[in-house]
Structure 1
Amino acid sequence: MPLLPYSYTRSANLNYPATFWRSLLLFNVYRMVVASILMIAALSFQMKGDTDLDLQPGSLITIVSAYWLFSLVAFGTIRARWPMFNVQLSVQVSVDIIIMVTLMYLNGGIRSGLGLLLMPYLAAAGLISRGRMTLFHAAIASIGVLAEQTLRMLLQENNATDFGQPVLLSIGYFATAWLGYRLAQHATESEKVALQRGIDLANLAQINQLIIQDMPDGVIVIDEKGVIRSRNQQADRLLGPPPFRERLTLSDYLPELELAAKGWLEGHTQGDLVLKTNSGKQIHPRFVPIAANRAAGAVIFIEDVHRQQALAQQMKLAALGRLTANIAHEIRNPLSSIGHAAELLSEDKSDPLTVKLTRIIRDNTRRLDGMVQDILQLNRRDRAQPEQIRLAGFLDSFIEELSQAERIPANCIDIQIEETLVVGFDRNHLHQILWNLTRNAWRYCKQAQGSIRILARHDGNQGWIDVTDDGPGVPPEHRAKLFEPFFTTDDSHGSGLGLYIAREVAAANHASLDYVAKKSGATFRLTCRIWQ
């Protein structure tokens, strides 16, 4: 078991932070001030020639001078941080105790009152060491005071009566040391709490920064003078990169936005303000005050109008899909009844007009039934069961089936595919998508040899299938609406749901279906995952 309550190791010395050494330096400043005051007092006694002192002024000056030189040397050791922290503190406090006990002995003992000077030393030492060595130092001081009184009694000096006052002084040392220990412990706990709160605040600030950076809207924070204090990357994307300047303002991004911010800070209502950036984007700024008073600054949320419109369109399409699915369920039964009645009427061949009207009813009934089936497939698009599909074999059987069902000559479809290409896709969904694309291509192509070309390749972890025809292609004004429900350029045949359903089914398989603009013909590309 170690004799001392602390460790004199190099690792322990390195673990002490700079604040400990700074406190030790201030403690030494106090020591030098006390030594200087004692030096002035000794010189004053010498100049007055005071003969009432038990100690000659010359001897007092020698002891105090040595103490002053020790404090001066301590500045160098503290600056060099050698020897180790605990060693320096114990040595310095021990010297303080020896000097004060010596002066107390040579100046009349306990009655001189010099023993009280040790209490500030013990309290300061306890605070500096954070309570680790406080009681140890108090014990050394108590031993020194009691030893001084014992020496006087052994020498049978007249002023050495009993141990009452030294014991009370020792109790005061321990009380002071205990108070310093408690204060140091409280300071340590407060420091830990402050450090943890600082870490929590830093983590919270980092989390807030990550959230702000990942927000789909641009965020700009301005102060009362309109100077930008913070912004996220989305704000730069929407407004454009700002100039390289130390203090950015809103005018560096968009002068109209600065005017709107000034009006808002003055209390004006902006309403549904829409601004146009230098890049042509439309934005909607929304101002939120930082404090109760608008003049303190604002947080500006910059919303992309195009994105808002796209979200509104998606919500509209989702609601439309649910509505049409419900309607399809309701009209399926009466539609079946109409179709069955038309079949019965077609058995009567006596009246040519009846036969013609019956055929019209039957054809349109089948067309409506096809639309109902397409709509109902939307509810089953999320039931994808991806499997390993080798495209070479799959497309061979697909073309054979398509040629028989749609009466398409096999030589009109040219297939170019990598033999080893394998994708992960729901087999029925892939069949449905390619059937829709190929049938549309046959409808608009020249219907000659090689008019339809199916090309399958892969690039890294993605594979893609292109279905291309040699027709007139899709006009530029129609390309943005190709995948919208009920959009069609052929009212006599199309329902306007084929491409919309094909894209939805592709998305259910984590794939994408897009139109690829080329100089001639129409090309639709299905991008999917390679099976691994």
Structure 2
Amino acid sequence: MKASVPAWLTSTWEANWYSFQYFLFARFLFGALCLLGLVFPGQWNVQLALPPSPTLFTLFILFLLLSGGGLLLARLWQKHFNFQLSLQVVVDIVLINSLMVLAGGIESGFGLILLVSLAAASLVGQGRWVLFYAALATFSVLIMQSQAIVAQGADSGSIVQAGFISAAYFATAILARLLGQRIMANEELARRRGIELADQIHINQRVVERMQDGVLILGHDGRIVRHNPMAARLLGLPEAATHLESCTPPLAAALQNWLAGYSSDSVFISGAGNAELGARFMPTGSSSGEVLVFVEDVERIKEQAKQLKLAALGRLTASIAHEIRNPLSAIGHAAELLHEERRGETFDRLLRIIGDNTLRLNRIVTDVLELGRQKQARVEGISLRPFLVRLAEDAQSVGQWPPDVVRLDVPPSLLLCFDRAHLHQVLWNLIANAVRHSSGKPGAVQVRAAASEASGRVDIAVCDDGPGVSEQMRDQIFEPFFTTHSLGTGLGLFIARELCVANGATLVLRNLAPGMAPGAQFVISGRCDTCL
């Protein structure tokens, strides 16, 4: 997305028209002053080296009308720039030559005024057509002087003077052309740099607005100069917030302590909802001495560190599980051979213990290796109600869930963007856990789904009427190898959450609504608006 730029940087075309209008206004002002000098010669400090005459008066009236008309035309009809500029230069040449004729020829000095007009036209037109203007002015001067020689028999000095003025016209034109080209190059460079700077500012603003950390620019007195949306959310800043002291006193106190040198650059403060936040101060280096503050959610940082540790642990356990599988298979095979000898009840009981624990270890190894081999999710739009009905029928057919224990409350037209195999594994695990911890009565486990049009997401809640999850266990429930079941591996919920993350979804443990029986509620929140 392209950033907006100042009006003076919009285009060279617009800059040319602005300069042309100023040029026309200056000519109109010049004509008005000259006309006032003719009408009120004793009241204005504008005096011409010509006696007032009807011809001179008519000449300036025409010049004033043409200048004013040109100014109006340039404002209302911004087309054919070179034609309009050339027309006004021709008007100047005609006026100056007429003044020279009325004043007695080239010796009057009026020809020098045309140098100003040529230079201004060259700068306005940025060097285009400037040599044509100089040639036209030279041609008109030479024609006028030739007529004067034929009619009045002017001396050779006037011819030399006409030559000098003509040379001055071309010299002015060439210098103005070079200067105009330099100005045009500088304007184009400034325009490009301005656009690049505006684009960079726009990109920086987009980045700051979407940062996961809060960013504030503060004055020494705690005045809020600027902040991003995340800072407002973390600190609970109202939209009209102008000063830290009135909306977040902890940060205001930390700022003053940092400015006084009583604290380090990083401090911990409490934010909105008593959330623990980390604040880092640093000077912006600006002349106003403003302070840049980064505000971080400490819980999010802890969660990221936890995820990094879990990822490292997953890689470690996967390598260990691979090494365990071979000796574990040998132990299981040896136990089967010993079981065939039938040496007594005590011996069989010990072999059964070996076999059960071997199967449990093998299940743990299988889960760990499967976690390390998770394939990329193939997301598709899944109709939830038929999918869940089929899942319940399959589970009941193999005796996994007692009949009527699981009750479905899913709208028929609800879609979820998810990998079909991943969703089967996640819901199978969640519903199996809910059935195991429920009372076993009909409807003890409920699977509910609802869509939110505002967020474009679908929530699938798996609830049971069991004892629920204690507060002490809530922080550990999704950690690997944490289990409350003697035969569990502790990897089911961990793998389920990882599969949800791979599909752009979340899996969280939520409290049941007030008034409901105690139990656990696991909620999957996934996309329903687009599956691309």
Q: TM-score, normalised by structure 2?
A: 0.79
Task: Quote the residue 2:429 is aligned against.
Answer: 436
Of residues 185, 189, 192 in structure 2, which corresponds to 1:189? 185
Of residues 252, 258, 270 in structure 2, which corresponds to 1:258? 252
Question: For the Cα contact (< 8 Å) 2:466–2:520, is it kept in 1?
Answer: yes
Question: For the Cα contact (< 8 Å) 1:392–1:419, is it kept in 2?
Answer: no
Alignment of 1:60-459 (within 5 A): 69=61, 73=65, 76-77=68-69, 80-81=72-73, 93-105=89-101, 107=103, 109-157=105-153, 159=155, 163-242=159-238, 244=240, 248-267=242-261, 269-291=263-285, 296-385=289-378, 390-391=386-387, 394-395=390-391, 397-403=393-399, 406=400, 409-410=402-403, 412-413=405-406, 426=419, 428-449=421-442, 451-453=444-446
Amino acid at match of 1:24: L
Question: For the Cα contact (< 8 Å) 1:127–1:184, is it kept in 2?
Answer: yes
Secondary structure of 1:483's counterpart equals: coil
Q: How many residues align?
A: 503
Q: Aligned partners of 2:99, 2:413: CA distance in 1, in Å?
A: 100
Q: Aligned partners of 1:264, 1:373: CA distance in 2, in Å?
A: 54
Question: For the Cα contact (< 8 Å) 2:480–2:494, is it kept in 1?
Answer: yes
Amino acid at match of 2:106: I
Structure 1 residues 333, 437: closer, same or farther in 2, change over 3 A? same
Question: 1:399 Cα shift?
Answer: 2.1
Q: Aligned partners of 2:94, 2:121: CA distance in 1, in Å?
A: 15
Task: Quote the residue 1:507 is aligned against.
Answer: 501
Structure of higher CA gyration radius: 1
Question: 1:524 Cα shift?
Answer: 3.7
Once structures 1 and 2 are overlaid, which stretch shifts more, 307-316 or 122-131? 122-131
Question: For the Cα contact (< 8 Å) 1:399–1:410, is it kept in 2?
Answer: no
Question: For the Cα contact (< 8 Å) 2:20–2:85, is it kept in 1?
Answer: no
Q: Aligned partners of 2:158, 2:67: CA distance in 1, in Å?
A: 40
Residue 473 of structure 2 corresponds to residue 478 of structure 1 = yes
Question: 1:374 Cα shift?
Answer: 1.6
Question: For the Cα contact (< 8 Å) 1:506–1:513, is it kept in 2?
Answer: yes
Q: Aligned partners of 2:376, 2:82: CA distance in 1, in Å?
A: 72
Question: 1:96 Cα shift?
Answer: 4.2
Question: 1:37 Cα shift?
Answer: 8.4
Secondary structure of 2:274's counterpart equals: coil
Once structures 1 and 2 are overlaid, which stretch shifts more, 507-516 or 416-425? 416-425
Q: Aligned partners of 2:413, 2:108: CA distance in 1, in Å?
A: 104
Q: Aligned partners of 1:259, 1:489: CA distance in 2, in Å?
A: 46
Structure 1 residues 34, 124: closer, same or farther in 2, change over 3 A? farther
Residue 25 of structure 2 corresponds to residue 25 of structure 1 = yes
Once structures 1 and 2 are overlaid, which stretch shifts more, 251-260 or 519-528? 519-528
Q: Aligned partners of 1:150, 1:365: CA distance in 2, in Å?
A: 121
Secondary structure of 2:135's counterpart equals: helix
Once structures 1 and 2 are overlaid, which stretch shifts more, 278-287 or 393-402? 393-402
Aligned-residue sequence identity (percent) comes to: 38
Once structures 1 and 2 are overlaid, which stretch shifts more, 14-23 or 394-403? 14-23
Q: Aligned partners of 1:168, 1:28: CA distance in 2, in Å?
A: 29
Task: Quote the residue 2:9 is aligned against.
Answer: none
Question: For the Cα contact (< 8 Å) 1:125–1:134, is it kept in 2?
Answer: yes
Task: Quote the residue 2:6 is aligned against.
Answer: none
Alignment of 1:6-45 (within 5 A): 17-30=17-30
CA RMSD of aligned residues (A): 4.1
Q: Aligned partners of 1:99, 1:464: CA distance in 2, in Å?
A: 83
Structure 1 residues 527, 302: closer, same or farther in 2, change over 3 A? closer
Q: Deviations over 1:6-61 (max 9, x none)?
A: xxxxxxx9996333212321244455667788999999xxx9xxxxxxxx987466
Structure 1 residues 454, 182: closer, same or farther in 2, change over 3 A? closer
Question: 1:453 Cα shift?
Answer: 4.9
Amino acid at match of 2:173: A
Q: Aligned partners of 1:88, 1:505: CA distance in 2, in Å?
A: 71
Q: Aligned partners of 2:249, 2:448: CA distance in 1, in Å?
A: 51
Uncovered stretches (5+) of structure 1, i.e. residues with no partner: 1-12, 48-55
Question: For the Cα contact (< 8 Å) 2:27–2:67, is it kept in 1?
Answer: no
Question: For the Cα contact (< 8 Å) 1:32–1:71, is it kept in 2?
Answer: no
Question: 1:213 Cα shift?
Answer: 0.3
